[in-house]
Amino acid sequence: MISRRTFFKLLAGSAVGLLSLAGYAGGVEPLLRLNTTHYTLTPRAWRRGQKLRIVALADFHACEPWMPASRIAEICDYANTLGGDIILLLGDYMSGMKVVTGTVPPKDWAASLSRLKAPLGVHAVCGNHDWWQDAEAQLQRLPETVAHRALRDVGIEVYSNRAARIGPEDAPFWIAGLEDQWAYLTGRHRMTGLDNLPQTMAQITDDAPVILLAHEPDIFPSVPDRVALTLSGHTHGGQVNLFGWTPVVPSRYGSRYVYGLKEEGGRHLVVSGGLGCSIAPIRFGSPPEIVVIDLA
């Protein structure tokens, strides 16, 4: 039988361990770590020999003290050193966390994002928290949010069910960006999306390859073979990843698209682990990351 003294030693040790884990999950991983994750892909729908380096950033969730404008600026300065031909932003610039000491006004986080530079520009979609944190857009069912306007005001291209042909004439491609799939809150745990994939794809007028930006990865089963690569964020890699077990994933597919490179039927999806936190300022086993993708 375990002695009382041994029991309390074990209890104390467990308490110290739990406090250490909590300190890491709340103070080290979300604030002090930043991974750069590289993928090299040759999608079936991408032209052979057509090289493109993508730098993708997702889910900043700007707020004090976890993701202030100064930290966003530092992340952007680092992203500029990664040699991207194009920089893609995958939504959720606004924070939905309650455990904060202050908000970051859209003009301030947008000013930090304006530091991003790439030869083929910076292109963005918005995410569910950009919609949910805009009370006026929710109440009046507006077609865009303050986040859309803040991005445009600093010269960042924002896509809302829109496609644009970019790149040199000898190697063009399309950026297609969906509006958010969870935009309007319509009841407890019920959302209505503003995404329109058929309308977006209908704007593509030639056979140049297509890169699709969609904040939530749930659209992927509906993405046509015509799309070379789909890029998403939203899930934060589960935000808490316990040796492969992700207990909370905001997706109707559970952990199917929680993180990383997915290939289905020759189609490719990359889901970024994102940079900030949602709901609670905790990350464990899912550090903040910038994604670099080389297409060739």
- Alpha-carbon span 94 to 130, nearest angstrom: 5
Same domain, 137 and 25: no
pLDDT at site 13: 41
In one-letter notation, the amino acid at residue 157 is E
Instruction: Let me know: does 136 contact 106? Beta carbons within 8 Å.
Output: no
- Cis peptide preceding 281, ω within 30 of 0: no
Same domain, 21 and 117: no
pLDDT at site 33: 75
**Secondary structure, 3-state, 24-69:** HHHHHHHHHCCEEEEEEECCCCCCCCCCEEEEEECCCCEEECCECH
pLDDT at site 123: 98
Same domain, 181 and 271: yes
Same domain, 78 and 179: yes
pLDDT at site 245: 87
Same domain, 185 and 162: yes
Same domain, 110 and 5: no
pLDDT at site 28: 55
Same domain, 124 and 161: yes
Same domain, 3 and 115: no
pLDDT at site 24: 45
- Alpha-carbon span 91 to 72, nearest angstrom: 14
Write the burial class of residue 170 (CB in 10 Å: 0-12 exposed, 13-18 middle, 19+ buried).
exposed
Same domain, 118 and 150: yes
Provide the β-strand partners of residue 124: 89, 158
pLDDT at site 2: 40
Same domain, 120 and 12: no
pLDDT at site 17: 38
Same domain, 23 and 51: no
Give per-residue pLDDT as tens, 216-242: 999 999 999 999 999 999 999 999 999
pLDDT at site 153: 98
pLDDT at site 27: 54
Q: Along the chain (296 residues), what's the average pLDDT of each consecutive run of 10 residues? A: 38 36 48 87 94 98 97 98 98 93 97 98 98 97 98 98 95 97 91 97 97 98 97 96 89 96 96 95 94 96
Same domain, 290 and 269: yes
Instruction: Let me know: does 139 contact 105? Beta carbons within 8 Å.
Output: no
Residue 242 has φ and ψ, to the nearest 5°, of -95, 85
**Domains identified in the chain, total number:** 2
* CATH number of the domain encompassing residue 150: 3.60.21.10
Q: Which domain holds residue 18?
A: 1-32
pLDDT at site 10: 41
